[in-house]
Amino acid sequence: MSHPHSAPDAQMSAADIRSIIIGLMTAMFPGALDSTIIAPAMPTIGRELGNVENLPWIVTSYLLMSTASTPLYGKLSDIHGRRIVLLTAIFIFAIGSLLCALAPTMITLALARGLQGIGGGGLVSLSLTIIGDVVPVRQRPKYQVYTSIMWTVSSLAGPILGGYFAELWHWSLIFWINMPLCLLAYVLIDSKLKRLPRHERPHKLDFLGAFLLVAASILFQLALSWGGTHYAWNSSVILAVLSGGAMASALLVWRQLTAEEPLLPVAILSNQIVLTASTSVGLAMAVFIGLTIYLPLYFEIGLGFSASESGLALLPLMVCTTIGAMSAGRTMMHVKHYSLIPMVGLGIGALCLLPMFFVPVGLPLVWIEILFALASIGVGTVFPISMVSVQNSVVVHQLGTATATVSFMRNFGSAIGVAIFGTVVISGGISRDHAADAIVTSAQFNEVFRWVFLIGAIGLGLSFLTMAMMEVRPLLDRRAQAPSEDEAGPQA
């Protein structure tokens, strides 16, 4: 077994590392863009496909399949090497994007988004794992600029392109654009990743655990979607769905405790840093993605914006997470108690959402945007601190699984956030077709969105508390050392 703090691989020069990271940023970009480009186009998609009530499923289906597949990608990359698994993820993401662009109904679009999510589950987590393979922990902030540029570009381009395509062209372009991006990523990283260090270990994949996770999540999502709208909360249908979700959850817990290699290894989750950091990330992402999906509705109904204007109004929320992440990453290496950075950011973020609870409509637009920007910066500080802390706390052969665990919690939190925010909005009597016919009263709108913002503030507060509980360890200057893929032979 490799020593947890091996010396750097002498074969990897600074130029080699820079070349690999540029290729990885290209691979991550379609997945990053997907999380920002679809939000302003969702009202248009719902109206054109004529199925507004099931619109949240095009987000949750992606997130659920991405969540279930992320831990499997970590283990697959430990078995077969990072390169072939990442290339496979890019291919699946491209096929899913193609099917999304061609989808004629909401159901087929949701199914295609699920396939796209299976590919997307590997794009970000595997890229972050590879960065952990080749860049020493203490040097990682130096390369943060590449990640920051990628997220900044996706955060800027996504809302603008999503709104522009939906309003002036056709919503399917938000999926067609992934095809050339995936092809470029495939070409750029295919040869570069052959020199990656290898850390193969035998694994058994927990497909049953992944199935139970998806089943439990879908059943609870159905209960949240149907309760109070299609069926009463105490109806036999909702009670049956909730019972099914509880049973699937119990089986999932049993599976994780008894499987030889569970989907979420107990050894990883028992690591205090992994548990607290990944939970903090999940809570922060629940708020961030929930706001990202439903703020276009807020802008279009409350402020009367068009789809393209709504996309522009989302920019402070989307872009400022990158500012927070970049600032936290650069500051981390100079601060002993680095968990204080996201704690301050999350505290400010929670406080910035509270004024929106008291005055959901009526504040000047400039103040609304400032509040969202500050909250976004706070959320952004969590990402680099949690990821580096987790990677700093595990041995080399656990790096892929630990990184995938953080990505798993990000995706799972996102799915939960969309479900909770969607339940509040839909049960409050607001659906996305109202963006086209202003039939929602001011009082109804205010009451619904004040609870959206309060839930967001509570979520960031809980993220603050879990980050406060995270153990802080000195950052170690280490990088995994192992034979390159060329030396290790062809991949399975």
Structure confidence by residue, pLDDT tens digits, 117-145: 888 888 877 887 777 777 766 666 566 66
**What is the per-residue pLDDT across 11-43, written as a single tens digit (0 to 9) for each?**
556 677 777 788 788 888 887 787 778 877 777
Give the C-alpha separation, 330 to 475, whole Å.
13
Is 488 domain-assigned? no
Domains contained in the chain, number: 2
The structure's pTM equals 0.70
- Please check the confidence at residue 431 and state whether its pLDDT lies above 70: no
Is 158 domain-assigned? yes
* Average pLDDT of the residues in 418-443: 61
* Average pLDDT of the residues in 457-482: 77
Contacts 24+ apart (CB under 8 A), 260-267: 260/204, 261/75, 261/203, 261/204, 261/205, 261/206, 262/206, 262/209, 263/68, 263/71, 263/72, 263/206, 263/209, 263/210, 263/213, 264/71, 264/209, 264/405, 264/408, 265/401, 267/398
Phi, psi (degrees; rounded to nearest 5) at 227: -60, 125
- Please check the confidence at residue 2 and state whether its pLDDT lies above 50: no
Give the C-alpha separation, 166 to 44, whole Å.
6
For residue 227, the SS3 value is strand
Residues 310 and 353 in one domain: yes
Segment holding 321, helix H or strand E: helix 315-332
Q: In whole numbers, what is the pLDDT of the chain averaged over residues?
A: 77
Domain of 432 in residue numbering reads as 14-190+261-475
Task: Look at residue 201 in the predicted model and tell me its pLDDT.
Answer: 61
Read off the tokens for 445: 């709108």
What DSSP designation does 298 have?
I
Which range (8-12, 85-89, 235-239, 474-478) has the least confidence?
8-12
Per-residue confidence band for 348, with pLDDT thresholds at 50, 70 and 90: very high
Residues 384 and 394 in one domain: yes
Is 480 domain-assigned? no
Residues 286 and 238 in one domain: no
Query: What percent of the chain clears pLDDT 70, i.e. is strictly above it?
Result: 81
CA 216 to chain centroid, in Å, comes to: 19
Residues 79 and 131 in one domain: yes
CB-CB contact of 378 with 460 (8 Å): yes
Give the C-alpha separation, 480 to 476, whole Å.
12
**What is the per-residue pLDDT across 365-415, written as a single tens digit (0 to 9) for each?**
888 889 999 999 999 889 888 888 887 777 766 776 777 778 778 877 887
CB-CB contact of 120 with 93 (8 Å): yes
Residues 269 and 138 in one domain: yes
First-to-last CA distance in the chain? Answer: 21
Per-residue confidence band for 465, with pLDDT thresholds at 50, 70 and 90: very high
Count the helices and strands in the chain (H runs, E runs).
20, 0
CB-CB contact of 331 with 140 (8 Å): no
Q: How many other C-beta atoms are found inside a 10 Å radius of the C-beta of residue 336?
A: 8
Is 459 domain-assigned? yes
